[in-house]
Each structure stands twice: as C-alpha cells, then as structure tokens.
Amino acid sequence: MSFTTIEVSESGAVGAITLNRPEKLNPLSSRTLRELAGAASWFDERPQVKVVVVAGAGRAFSAGADVAVFADAGVPASEQREAADAGRLMAEAIESMRAITIARIQGHCVGGGVVLAGACDLRIASDSARFSIPEVDLGIPLAWGGIPRLVREIGPAMTKELVLTCRAFAAEEARALGFLNRVLPESELKSGVEDLAAQLARKSSLTLNATKRAVNAASQDMASTDGAWNDADALLTALHDPESRAAAEEYLRRLSAR
C-alpha cells in the first residue's frame, strides 16, 4: 500500500506509524483513516515487529476527524456512509494489531484523535498535552466506537461528562482517570516511549500477543464495540439534522469570536 498522509517504518522489532500532516495538525481525513488501517495490516504481515509506536508529526498528535466530506451533498449517499464508517474500521484495525501499540501524544489530541489513541494498547503523553472531545458541540455524536473504548478506560460517568460537556482536559487529569499510562516532560517524551518500546521488544512475541488478546477479550466483555457499525448512521443523521447543524454553527461562531 502507498502511504501519503502517514509515514510507516520499522527498525528491527520496533515499528512506527506517524501521522504526517503537521501543517494541519494531523487531521484524520478519509484517506488517512484508510492508510492507518492499511498500515495495521502491513505490520501484521511482519511478525518480527513486536511493538509499534503511533505518533503525530509536529506540535500535535491529531486535530481529529475531517467531517466535511460526510455532509457534502454532492457525494453519493453510499460514499458518505463509507467515509463516515472509515474511522470505525481504522480503530478496529489498530486495536486488533498483533503488535503491541503505544500512542505517543503531544500537543492537541482532539475527537477522533482520542479514539485513535484509545485504540492503542498503551498511551504516553507529554505534560503539556491537551485533550478534548468536541463532537457534541459540533452537532455530531462521538463515533468510531469511541464511546465503549472510553467507558472501558475511564468509566461511564466520566465518559458522559467529557463527551457531553466537550470540555478540554489536561494530561494529568487523563492519567488520573486511567486513560494515560504515563505523563512525561515534553523533552523526555520521545526517549521515554523509545525506552518502553525497547523493553517490550525484548520479550517473546507469543507472551506479548497472548496477554494483549486476553486483555482485549476481557475489555470486550466490559464494553463491547460490536454495535459501533451503527455509528456511521448516527453520524450521518446528525449531519443532516437542522437542530444539530444550528448548534454546530453557533459553536463555530463562538470559536471564531475568541
């Protein structure tokens, strides 16, 4: 597969997937979502790679989903749904990778970026990282299986609070809630993730994979993502709902006035 919006590399037992549109803060376009799923498959064909670091180039992890194409009246309905469902397929591909995945998060991690990070096995962020889930303010539901993944990590009450209020939260709060494994000074983030990846890469593939599968199976029992196939329909419905669109326009007006 040819990658144009991400970079994919391997060095021995450690691989990397890097969102590579830093000038736009690494948005998750339909192409990027497909490329992320393709990269997961690419690594699954390389059993020598035991650990994959998922990161964003530049000053942000990801500014989240690019939803413009979902609501483009000129795009056939079947293509709109395919685009709306691409995030679910991406998250499932990342989550089910054979390799252990580590999200390395700096700067902004927004909406769909939170879902991408949540699909990874481990998450480490810089102390200056900022998280937000603005979908409800934008008049759309959090899709891509994001709700059950958050419920697994931080519980139902905090999932409701963060998704419904859309308030930003800092790295230390994300760690206290259980979403992050570690928070490191920004200057130590890259080396800290590299050290963790090297530590894991020294372990046997069989036991790494067996542990990952066992935890994932238990997580599915806690909050299954099986119903996430319907997220695309809820997203498309919201994008054509007048009240939801009015709420989004008001939010964007407030944002531009700041």
Q: pLDDT (tens digit, 9 = 90+) per residue, 88-106?
A: 999 999 999 999 999 999 9
Torsion over CA: 207, 208, 209, 215 (sign):
positive
Residue of 89, 106, 197, 107 whose CA lies nearest to 144: 89
Q: pLDDT (tens digit, 9 = 90+) per residue, 218-251?
A: 999 999 999 999 999 999 999 889 999 999 999 8
What is the SS3 string spanning the chain? Answer: CCCCCEEEEEECCEEEEEECCHHHCCEECHHHHHHHHHHHHHHHCCCCCCEEEEEECCCCCECEECCHHHHCCCCCHHHHHHHHHHHHHHHHHHHCCCCEEEEEECCEEECHHHHHHHHCCEEEEECCCEEECCCCCCCCCCCCCHHHHHHHHHCHHHHHHHHHHCCCEEHHHHHHHCCCCEEECHHHHHHHHHHHHHHHHCCCHHHHHHHHHHHHHHHHHHCCCHHHHHHHHHHHHHHCCHHHHHHHHHHHHHHHHC
- CA 151/CA 147 separation, integer angstroms: 6
Go through the domains of the chain in sequence order and give each one's CATH number.
6-190 (3.90.226.10)
Contact 62, 125 (CB under 8 A): no
Contact 132, 168 (CB under 8 A): yes
Residue 167: which residues within 8 A CB-CB, separation 6 or more? 132, 161
Question: What confidence tier does 68 reach under pLDDT thresholds 50, 70, 90?
Answer: low
Question: What confidence tier does 252 reach under pLDDT thresholds 50, 70, 90?
Answer: confident
Question: What confidence tier does 110 reach under pLDDT thresholds 50, 70, 90?
Answer: very high
Please tell me the predicted confidence (pLDDT) of residue 67: 66
Q: Which two tokens stand for residue 54?
A: 């998922």
pTM of the model: 0.96
Q: Which two tokens stand for residue 88?
A: 């679910």
Q: pLDDT (tens digit, 9 = 90+) per residue, 141-187?
A: 999 999 999 999 999 999 999 999 999 999 999 999 999 999 999 99
Summarize the confidence of residues 57-73 as an average pLDDT. 80
Contact 126, 60 (CB under 8 A): no
Please tell me the predicted confidence (pLDDT) of residue 71: 54
Residue 92: which residues within 8 A CB-CB, separation 6 or more? 119, 145, 225, 228
| Whether residue 127 has pLDDT greater than 90 | yes
Amino acid identity, position 236: L
- CA 51/CA 97 separation, integer angstroms: 10
Q: pLDDT (tens digit, 9 = 90+) per residue, 8-57?
A: 999 999 999 999 999 999 999 999 999 999 999 999 999 999 999 999 99
- CA 118/CA 148 separation, integer angstroms: 10
Angle at 37 between CA 36 and CA 43, to 5 degrees: 90
